[in-house]
């Protein structure tokens, strides 16, 4: 159990992550880390959670979880956290998530939220977020920094590239792949592999909405 934990971010997903951590590790002391806003504490349910600025954290905070959903923002924050000498905590597996078989590799720094189910022979990279009620079937691989929104369903043998973002309720057909840093809009059905890195896809079946706005980060 981690005694002191930094959650990177202080926005909505960070606040949710706080409560997921409280369910799993109730005695852990938590601070948020955020350089974007001016706020120095977040008040929730009668508690006041400090927000560290400029990566100046009390020495007891040596581990972190990512607390933002956007893969590009995750990457920036993780670079800063590592540069500040922090190390990722093991990815938080919420007590009401099911990670069934012992042949599932779960990386570090991410979140498996309540209601998720992962079956067998699955590889999850670092800083991956599987949000509420996502399901991941046999033989899937999910790259570092990827986010699967609430209620996503990945069939077997699906590959999600590094930094891909799947909106809420995306369903993915078996044996397909989603390109690195691609975005898939909410409620899409991925019937074929989506191959352009950084592009945005929407609809049923998922089709290209637009190409990458800026080149995706270097691998």
Residues that bind ligand COA (CB under 6 A): 131, 149-150, 167-168, 183, 185-187, 200, 202-203, 209
CB of 189: closest distance to ligand COA in angstroms? 10
Per-position DSSP letters for the chain, written without gaps between them = --SEEEEEB-SHHHHHHHHHHHHH-TT-EEEEE-SSS--SEEEETTEEEEEE-TT---TT--EEEE----HHHHHHHHHHHHHTT-EEPBPEE-TTSEE--TT-EE-BS-EE-TT-EE-SS-EE-TT-EE-TT-EE-TT-EE-TT-EE-TT-EE-TT-EE-TT-EE-TT-EE-TT-EE-TT-EE-TT-EE-S-B-STT-EEETTTTEEEE--SSPPPP-
CB of 54: closest distance to ligand COA in angstroms? 29
CB of 168: closest distance to ligand COA in angstroms? 4
The pair of three-digit structure tokens given for residue 144, joined into one six-digit string = 């570092």
Nearer to ligand COA by C-beta: 70 or 193?
A: 70
Nearer to ligand COA by C-beta: 28 or 187?
A: 187
Nearer to ligand COA by C-beta: 84 or 168?
A: 168
CB of 133: closest distance to ligand COA in angstroms? 10
CB of 62: closest distance to ligand COA in angstroms? 29
Nearer to ligand COA by C-beta: 31 or 190?
A: 190
Residue 21 dihedral angles phi and psi, to the nearest 5°:
-65, -40
Nearer to ligand COA by C-beta: 187 or 196?
A: 187
CB of 144: closest distance to ligand COA in angstroms? 19
Nearer to ligand COA by C-beta: 2 or 134?
A: 134
Place of tokens 């270097």: 218
Name 117's Cβ contacts closer than 8 Å, sequence gap at least 6: 97, 98, 100, 135, 136
């Amino acid at each position: 159990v981690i005694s002191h934990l930094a959650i990177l971010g202080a926005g909505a997903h960070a606040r949710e992550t706080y409560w997921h951590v409280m369910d799993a590790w109730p005695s852990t002391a938590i601070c948020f880390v955020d350089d974007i806003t001016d706020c120095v504490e977040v008040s929730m349910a009668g508690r006041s959670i400090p927000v560290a600025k400029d990566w100046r954290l009390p020495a007891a905070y040596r581990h972190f979880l990512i607390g933002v959903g956007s893969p590009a923002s995750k990457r920036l924050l993780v670079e800063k956290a590592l540069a500040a000498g922090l190390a990722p905590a093991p990815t938080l597996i919420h007590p009401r998530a099911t990670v069934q078989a012992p042949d599932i590799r779960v990386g570090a720094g991410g979140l498996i939220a309540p209601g998720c189910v992962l079956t067998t022979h699955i590889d999850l990279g670092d800083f991956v977020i599987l949000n509420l009620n996502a399901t991941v079937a046999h033989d899937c691989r999910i790259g570092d920094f990827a986010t699967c929104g609430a209620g996503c369903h990945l069939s077997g043998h699906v590959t999600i590239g590094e930094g891909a973002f799947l909106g809420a309720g995306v369903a993915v057909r078996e044996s397909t792949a989603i390109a690195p840093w691609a975005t898939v809009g909410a409620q899409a059905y991925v019937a074929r592999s989506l191959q352009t890195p950084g592009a945005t896809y929407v609809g049923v079946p998922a089709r290209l909405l637009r190409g990458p706005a800026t080149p995706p980060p270097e691998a």
